[in-house]
A = this chain, B = another copy of it.
Amino acid sequence: MTQQIISVGRDVLAKARQSAQELRDEFTRRGILVVNIMSSPGAGKTTLLQATARHWQGRRKMAVLVGDLATDRDAQRLAPLAPTIQLTTGGACHLELPLVERGLERLGELDCDFLFIENVGNLVCPASHDLSEHVRVIVLSTTEGDDKPAKYPKAFRTSQILVINKTDLLPHVPFSVEAAINDARQIQPRIRAVAVSAHRQEHIADWCNLLEEAHAELRATGQVLSQNR
């Protein structure tokens, strides 16, 4: 019995991986960089995307799929700035590919350079699911403590970019940007790091430059950054 369950599980996982790769290949052909953003609840994923849209203001086109267990609060915040579809998991702790695919159908014909997938706020479970992204981003806010990378290793190990957010609160919290980056590089030596205040629109250009580099690399070579899976 146990054996049968395991074999079914493996089959499902292999199929999911294949579907994600096929979708990623399609995005690669179309020159759309797909970015999966993970973080704890409240680390500022939605605010970062608002700041990103304001920074680019028509110079770059972006679309957003935003995941939550419940409510469409995040989509309401983003919709004035970019085409956005809310994905509601109905209680599940992470996004999976079929829900992303349904969101893509609702977005319609994609005319954009960047497709952001804002995952459910959770530092654990989303790290185990390939959503067809080229780049995986982990957002860590300065109020969460600089000890998080070692405590939540998979999310950091499988990410290519670390965004440290809420730098405006650094004078008020016990957090060392340097310690957090060092901790993350113990887990994933190749991770690229930027520190921003999305709320104050500070250093957003650094973050957008990383994305633009990755997008240029995707168009030129069909590959982006280093895959850390």
Q: In the bound complex, do residue B8 and residue A152 qualify as a contact, i.e. CB atoms below 8 Å apart?
A: no
Q: In the bound complex, do residue A42 and residue B121 qualify as a contact, i.e. CB atoms below 8 Å apart?
A: no
Tell me the chain A residues, 71-121 only, with Cβ under 8 Å from chain B: 71, 73, 91-93, 120-121
Per the CB 8 Å criterion, the residue count for chain A at the interface is 40
Q: In the bound complex, do residue B154 and residue A91 qualify as a contact, i.e. CB atoms below 8 Å apart?
A: yes
What is the bound-complex CA distance between A8 and B147, given in angstroms?
Answer: 39
Q: How many copies does the complex hold?
A: 2
Segment among A17-25, A50-58, A122-130, A212-220 that sits at the interface with chain B: A122-130
Asked if A26 is an interface residue, CB under 8 A from chain B, the answer is no
Contact of A124 among B5, B125, B154 (CB under 8 A): B125
Q: In the bound complex, do residue A41 and residue B144 qualify as a contact, i.e. CB atoms below 8 Å apart?
A: yes
Segment among A28-36, A165-173, A188-196, A202-210 that sits at the interface with chain B: A165-173
Asked if A68 is an interface residue, CB under 8 A from chain B, the answer is yes
The answer to whether residues A153 and B70 also contact, given A93-B124, A124-B120 and a CB cut-off of 8 A, is yes
Asked if A40 is an interface residue, CB under 8 A from chain B, the answer is yes
What is the bound-complex CA distance between A93 and B143, given in angstroms?
Answer: 21
What is the bound-complex CA distance between A151 and B69, given in angstroms?
Answer: 6
Q: In the bound complex, do residue A122 and residue B148 qualify as a contact, i.e. CB atoms below 8 Å apart?
A: no
Pick 21 A–B contacts, CB within 8 A, sort by A: A4-B4, A40-B40, A41-B151, A42-B141, A42-B143, A42-B144, A42-B148, A69-B152, A70-B152, A70-B153, A71-B147, A73-B147, A73-B150, A73-B151, A91-B124, A91-B153, A93-B125, A143-B143, A143-B169, A169-B169, A169-B173
Given contacts A5-B5, A70-B150, 11 further A-B contacts (CB under 8 A): A1-B8, A40-B41, A42-B144, A42-B148, A68-B151, A69-B153, A70-B152, A73-B147, A124-B125, A169-B169, A169-B172
The 3 A-B pairs of least Cβ separation, nearest first, read A42-B144, A93-B124, A143-B143
